[in-house]
Structure 1
């Protein structure tokens, strides 16, 4: 039996490259999912992408994708990061962390921390400059 996997190269098509915009997903909605496959389905649903856009972009067979969405097959874990990047949300990761009793927290890189420190210092200096200017103006008046 021939696979239903519609590879872009075999069909002389360009692969789908549309990526969903990042979406805020309420944690209450994520924790309502009873399985990781449910969280994967939620991830795709919230993205607004068609199933075909997702499974073709991830290189998953159409039949296997249908079974995943029904809960009869497992999502390939090595494609989980690609799925979340494509769909613009972290529903499967949030579900998994919550199911193990953890909470997600975005880690900042060293560069991001330095930028934040510099930004805070600049804002403080600007506030102090405004205060000094207003004091000088009030004394000269």
Structure 2
């Protein structure tokens, strides 16, 4: 087996870039929101098609993102936003459906929840230690 065959292509989770909601809200269609998403990414078309992209080839990508607005493969929307590094289409859909994006928040992952609970427990233990230390030193809290 060659060394190249042993290489795994693991995507790195990236923090999505912040997008101005007012800019997204000015887009009149979902296609415009998709185009904005790509523009904000700073990436050219070639990074969105091919074996690991949204569609197979450049012609197909051009038809989707061009003025003819062929249908975007909706099952690839998450991949598209991951590749672009922003969530402009999601924000556009929220706006189009009448949601306030400021009132929404992402759900905690299992790891984030464990970390939060551990940090809360640690803070409670530190508080107990402080209370006991104060009591031993004759101070009241």
State TM-score, norm by structure 2. Answer: 0.67
Q: In angstroms, what is the RMSD of aligned CA positions? A: 2.9
Counterparts of 1:66-77 in structure 2, within 5 Å, are 66-73=62-69, 74-77=71-74
Unaligned runs of 5+ in 2: 1-9
The corresponding residue for 2:38 is 44
Counterparts of 1:50-89 in structure 2, within 5 Å, are 50-56=44-50, 57-73=53-69, 74-89=71-86
Determine which structure has greater relative contact order: mean sequence separation of CA pairs < 8 Å that are 6+ residues apart, divided by chain length.
Answer: 1
Counterparts of 1:1-141 in structure 2, within 5 Å, are 21=14, 22-56=16-50, 57-73=53-69, 74-102=71-99, 103=101, 104-130=104-130, 133=133
State TM-score, norm by structure 1. Answer: 0.67
Unaligned runs of 5+ in 1: 1-16
1:133 Cα offset (Å): 4.2
1:88 Cα offset (Å): 1.7
Query: Given that residues 33 and 39 in structure 1 are in contact (C-alpha distance below 8 angstroms), is that contact kept between their aligned partners in structure 2?
Result: yes
Structure 1 CA distance, aligned partners of 2:73 and 2:64?
Answer: 9
Query: Given that residues 24 and 92 in structure 2 are in contact (C-alpha distance below 8 angstroms), is that contact kept between their aligned partners in structure 1?
Result: yes
